[in-house]
């Protein structure tokens, strides 16, 4: 765990705090057991929002302010995204508290987002007294029913003595196998009732086997395919980062000179300047990586799940290639793309087993095709995006400057839309786990709270959130949290006065009928000022470099609004549902 | 569950006019509140209609078996099985076609006692391997087990005698090759017992 000493507590610490988890059985309330269970799981940061049904837990928290840092968000959705950002930057489980009813329903978007993007999170919600369950009591909502399809697991606890066991199981499930969000709903009577506390970590659930047994045969088959391949191609997904398999992946690529492309969530696993890294896949990915998916002869998909933004039309996707699919979630294998060699395993374990079987090879001509495609993309798109000399500022050049000034070492948190695609395309990622974005759900409003969490999870890192003007207005109240908890995130709003990505589609596919996508925006810098966060607005190309510099050198949070070209489009682009080979450069 | 289809949908070759086939899905689960919901939600999401669902504890304490019949395409169903197995409290899930299971259903028919004198209902009961469970002054109840079509045929035959009420169970099935899985469960149980010994 990182040190959190950059974040001073503003509240007085109470006298009667008890420091350690007791080794022996001790009688206490369910609420105290909740906090002690969390501490036993190594939790030191919680994002949450109080309310009637969770008040006993908040009361217990008051005694543990030295051990557990509670961040009071401004909306429960913000708590979930913050916990996601925290989990993704620290590798720990993100923890959320919310009250029953509206508190719990406000978690839904974040839970669904974390579920899609395999982010470990434990949400604890208060619930009405067990005797009132099912009576439509005040603030009673069936959170278990509501969150069933968007959590990896959930449980309602109605008795104090079941609390430690439920929390232990929650952490085990959230962390292991394919990680995901878990929800523990605790009724008020369970929070106030007494129990004999004795915490045991969960290490085994008889019906759940998160670590698959590696098939030696599958590894040999995969190696044979790779060794025979003329045009092998690695697709790197989020699973590589989750299992910490970056080194193994690069070793495999280097041994046999295989090009690596990345999915949106796989970004940052391989440094962008690595000679075998060829770029980013999908609807707004790079030209060569998309085109060549339909040219390779062996496709090695590692920890990715063939999302439709990657595959386009499935029937023509890599139909010429033999597919090796390394994936920890058995349900993902053969779900979208049939694997010739399915490897049901953790990415790191599989790659470690695979490496010794791989023969050193060259694939010069094959690698050259990526270079040629990249040159085309550079001439047609990248150059004029990155280095425009006239007209309004472009999103890409802003991202280029941020990338240059941070050396590609910052954690880049992006929201959803054009700015997300542009930032993902042009930020020069150097270090693993520095790309945090909402991939599977595409949740607008993700970035500001996620950046907040990311900074708390990795306080030593620079965290830059790149946010659209539309997205910012979905969760901007978290500026309040940023101020109160002194979280030093840098916020860049790329303001095009449009819901840009939707407007782009309207332009290209709906005859420029800009239905409800133009935005009359407030004065963002003034808003930030209202939350005591300093900022600056830039419209001029001549000012942008200095403004980014100023933002980065400023100690503490800072908001930079950049007014960019209104009707800019993100290219290349694969029209939705089209084969990826139909990728358009303009 | 839309039962309108279940009486007529499965033609003799098991395929319906829409190209769907009838399959038996078996799911082994832990005993847990809400597990039915968790399972059925997955069928709902893929627009697969459940035509019957039976569940009860197996011979292994705490392990339940769901027997679900559906009309579906095999490929889609295989993916559903994958999603079901992903649930934390699920041990395993399987799809079986007609040839892989031995199965029965049970029907109860409530008939007015007055109709006992209408023709030869006793003969009908005997010929169809049914039996009478109870007789009151108002009605009597006949029980019959068999495949769905036999139970429906029996219903048709009873209609002239005045059926007051009819109830049919879902499918109960034994999988012809299920031994392996049961061995696996027993193994688990043994291991768990050993684990416990180590702990205490
Ligand atoms: C919660 C939510 N609502 C709607 C959408 C649909 N959507 C995707 S991108 C987008 C536009 C985003 O606009 P903005 O934040 O200004 O970013 P830009 O595309 O202009 O960079 C919208 C409305 C979404 N992804 N999430």
Contact B34 A149 (CB under 8 A): no
**Residues A381, A433 contacting (CB under 8 angstroms):** no
pLDDT tens for A245-259 read: 999 999 999 999 999
Give me the helices (H) in A345-478, please. 347-354, 364-377, 383-386, 395-406, 418-426, 447-457, 469-475
**What is residue B195's predicted lDDT score, i.e. its pLDDT?**
57
**What is residue A23's predicted lDDT score, i.e. its pLDDT?**
57
Residue B82 has pLDDT above 90, yes or no: yes
CA distance B24 to A522: 59
Atom of ligand 1 nearest to the CA of A445: 1
**What is residue A11's predicted lDDT score, i.e. its pLDDT?**
35
Residue A201 has pLDDT above 90, yes or no: yes
Nearest CA to ligand 1 atom 9: A417
Radius of gyration of chain B (CA): 20
Contact A330 B79 (CB under 8 A): no
CA distance A500 to A421: 11
Q: How far apart are the CA of A526 and the centre of ligand 1, in A?
A: 23
List CB contacts (< 8 A) between A335 and chain B. Answer: 79, 82
**What is residue A203's predicted lDDT score, i.e. its pLDDT?**
94
Name A451's Cβ contacts closer than 8 Å, sequence gap at least 6.
A85, A411, A413, A436, A463, A464, A465, A489, A491
**What is residue A160's predicted lDDT score, i.e. its pLDDT?**
98
Name A5's Cβ contacts closer than 8 Å, sequence gap at least 6.
none
pLDDT tens for A461-504 read: 999 999 999 999 999 999 999 999 999 999 999 999 999 999 99
**pLDDT bucket at B182, cuts 50 / 70 / 90:** confident
Matching residue, tokens 């023709």: B119
Can you tell me the mean pLDDT for B133-154?
Answer: 96
Active-site residue, A501 included:
yes
User: Is B24 at the interface with chain A, CB within 8 A?
Assistant: no
Can you tell me the mean pLDDT for A39-64?
Answer: 98
Residue B43 has pLDDT above 80, yes or no: yes
Say which range, A124-138, A361-375, B50-64, B184-198, has the weakest mean pLDDT: B184-198
**Residues A563, A501 contacting (CB under 8 angstroms):** no
**What is residue A34's predicted lDDT score, i.e. its pLDDT?**
98
pLDDT tens for A438-460 read: 999 999 999 999 999 999 999 99
ipTM of the modeled complex: 0.89
Residue B192 has pLDDT above 70, yes or no: no
**What is residue B120's predicted lDDT score, i.e. its pLDDT?**
87
Contact B34 A148 (CB under 8 A): yes
Residue A365 has pLDDT above 90, yes or no: yes
Measured between CA atoms, the residue of chain B closest to residue A147 is B38
**What is residue B186's predicted lDDT score, i.e. its pLDDT?**
75
In the three-class reduction of DSSP (H, G, I as helix; E, B as strand; rest coil), residue A71 is classed as strand
**What is residue A184's predicted lDDT score, i.e. its pLDDT?**
98
User: Is B30 at the interface with chain A, CB within 8 A?
Assistant: yes
Atom of ligand 1 nearest to the CA of A419: 21
CA distance A296 to A369: 11
Can you tell me the mean pLDDT for A161-171?
Answer: 98
List CB contacts (< 8 A) between A207 and chain B. Answer: 29-30, 88-91
Q: Which two tokens stand for residue B192?
A: 């768990």
Q: Which two tokens stand for residue A245?
A: 């398999």
Can you tell me the mean pLDDT for B97-106?
Answer: 95
**pLDDT bucket at A363, cuts 50 / 70 / 90:** very high
Say which range, A203-212, A292-301, A380-389, has the weakest mean pLDDT: A203-212
CA distance A443 to A108: 12
**What is residue B184's predicted lDDT score, i.e. its pLDDT?**
73
Contact B86 A331 (CB under 8 A): yes
**What is residue B118's predicted lDDT score, i.e. its pLDDT?**
73
Matching residue, tokens 């694939």: A363
Q: Best mutation site among A113, A284, A395, A471 for ligand 1, i.e. most ligand atoms within 8 A of its Cβ?
A: A471
Give how far the C-alpha of residue A297 lies from the chain's centroid of Cα atoms, to the nearest Å. 31
Residue B14 has pLDDT above 70, yes or no: no
Q: Best mutation site among A78, A112, A416 for ligand 1, i.e. most ligand atoms within 8 A of its Cβ?
A: A416
**What is residue B6's predicted lDDT score, i.e. its pLDDT?**
40
Active-site residue, A84 included:
no
Q: Which two tokens stand for residue A557?
A: 């949070």
**Residues A176, A211 contacting (CB under 8 angstroms):** yes
Counts of helices then strands in chain B (DSSP H, E): 5, 9
Strands B163-168 and B90-96, by their bridges, are unpaired
User: Is A201 at the interface with chain B, CB within 8 A?
Assistant: no
**Residues A38, A83 contacting (CB under 8 angstroms):** no
pLDDT tens for A312-361 read: 999 999 999 999 999 999 999 999 999 999 999 999 999 999 999 999 99
Which is nearest to A289 in space by CA: A382, A374, A226? A374
Give how far the C-alpha of residue A336 lies from the chain's centroid of Cα atoms, to the nearest Å. 22
Give how far the C-alpha of residue A1 lies from the chain's centroid of Cα atoms, to the nearest Å. 19
Can you tell me the mean pLDDT for A36-60?
Answer: 98
Contact B38 A330 (CB under 8 A): no
């Amino acid at each position: 765990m990182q040190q959190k000493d950059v974040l001073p507590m503003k509240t007085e610490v109470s006298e009667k705090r008890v420091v350690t988890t007791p080794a022996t059985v001790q009688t206490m309330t369910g609420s105290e057991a909740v906090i002690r269970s969390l501490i036993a799981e190594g939790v030191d940061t919680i994002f949450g929002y109080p309310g009637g049904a969770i008040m006993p837990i908040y009361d217990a928290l008051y005694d543990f302010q030295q051990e557990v840092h509670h961040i009071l968000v401004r909306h429960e959705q913000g708590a979930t995204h913050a916990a996601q950002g925290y989990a993704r930057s620290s590798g720990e489980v993100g923890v959320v508290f919310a009250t029953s009813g509206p508190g719990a329903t406000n978690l839904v978007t974040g839970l669904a987002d974390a579920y899609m993007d395999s982010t470990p999170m434990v949400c604890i919600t208060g619930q009405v007294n067990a005797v009132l369950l099912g009576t439509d009591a005040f603030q009673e909502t069936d959170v278990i029913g509501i969150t069933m399809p968007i959590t990896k697991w959930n449980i309602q606890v109605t008795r104090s003595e079941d609390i430690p066991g439920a929390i232990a199981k929650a952490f085990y499930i959230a962390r292991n196998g394919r990680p995901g969000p878990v929800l523990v709903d605790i009724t008020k009577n369970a929070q106030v009732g007494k129990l004999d506390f004795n915490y045991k970590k969960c290490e085994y659930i008889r019906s759940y086997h998160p670590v698959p047994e590696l098939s030696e045969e599958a590894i040999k088959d995969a190696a044979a395919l790779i060794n025979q391949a003329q045009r092998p191609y690695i697709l790197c997904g989020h699973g590589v980062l989750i299992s910490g398999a970056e080194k193994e992946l690069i070793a495999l690529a280097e041994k046999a000179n295989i090009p690596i492309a990345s999915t949106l969530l796989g970004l940052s696993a391989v440094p962008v300047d690595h000679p075998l890294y060829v770029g980013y896949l999908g609807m707004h990915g790079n030209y060569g990586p998309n085109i060549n998916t339909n040219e390779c002869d062996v496709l090695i998909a590692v920890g990715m799940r063939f999302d439709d933004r990657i595959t386009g039309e499935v029937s023509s996707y890599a139909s010429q290639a033999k597919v090796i699919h390394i994936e920890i979630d058995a349900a993902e294998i053969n779900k979208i793309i049939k694997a010739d060699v399915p490897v049901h395993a953790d990415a790191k374990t599989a790659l470690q087993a695979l490496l010794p079987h791989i023969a050193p090879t060259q694939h010069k001509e094959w690698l050259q095709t990526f270079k040629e495609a990249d040159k085309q993309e550079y001439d047609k798109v990248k150059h004029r995006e990155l280095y425009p000399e006239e007209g309004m500022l472009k999103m890409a050049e802003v991202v280029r400057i941020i990338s240059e000034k941070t050396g590609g070492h910052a954690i880049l948190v992006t929201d959803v839309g054009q700015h997300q695609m542009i930032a993902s395309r042009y930020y020069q990622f150097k270090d693993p786990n520095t790309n945090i974005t909402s991939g599977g759900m595409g949740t607008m409003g993700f970035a500001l709270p996620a950046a907040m969490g990311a900074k708390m999870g990795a306080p030593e890192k620079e965290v830059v959130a790149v946010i659209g003007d539309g997205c910012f207005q979905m969760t901007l109240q978290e500026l309040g949290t940023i101020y109160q908890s002194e979280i030093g995130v840098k916020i860049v709003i790329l303001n095009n006065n449009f819901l840009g990505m939707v407007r782009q589609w309207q332009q290209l596919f709906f005859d420029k009928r800009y239905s409800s996508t133009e935005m009359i925006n407030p004065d963002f810098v003034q808003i930030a000022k209202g939350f005591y966060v300093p900022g600056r607005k830039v419209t001029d190309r001549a000012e942008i470099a200095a403004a980014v510099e100023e933002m980065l050198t400023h100690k503490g949070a800072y908001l930079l609004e950049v007014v960019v070209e209104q009707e800019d489009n993100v290219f290349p682009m694969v029209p939705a549902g089209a084969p990826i080979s139909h990728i358009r450069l303009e | 569950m839309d039962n309108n289809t279940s009486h007529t949908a499965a033609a003799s070759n098991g395929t319906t006019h829409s190209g769907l086939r009838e399959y038996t899905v078996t799911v082994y689960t832990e005993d847990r509140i809400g597990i039915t919901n968790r399972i059925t939600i997955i069928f709902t999401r893929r627009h697969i209609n459940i035509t019957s669902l039976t569940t009860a504890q197996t011979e292994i304490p705490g392990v339940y078996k769901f027997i679900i019949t559906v009309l579906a395409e095999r490929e889609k169903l295989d993916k559903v099985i994958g999603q079901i197995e992903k649930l934390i409290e699920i041990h395993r899930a399987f799809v079986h076609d007609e040839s892989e299971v031995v199965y029965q259903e049970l029907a109860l028919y409530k008939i007015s006692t007055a109709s006992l004198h209408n023709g030869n209902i006793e003969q009908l009961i005997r010929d169809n391997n049914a039996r009478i469970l109870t007789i009151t002054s108002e009605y009597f109840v006949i029980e019959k087990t068999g495949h769905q079509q036999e139970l429906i045929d029996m219903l048709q035959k009873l209609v002239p005698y005045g059926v007051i009420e009819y109830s049919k169970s879902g499918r109960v099935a034994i999988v012809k090759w299920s031994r392996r899985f049961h061995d696996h469960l027993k193994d688990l149980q043994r291991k768990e017992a050993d684990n416990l010994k180590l702990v205490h």
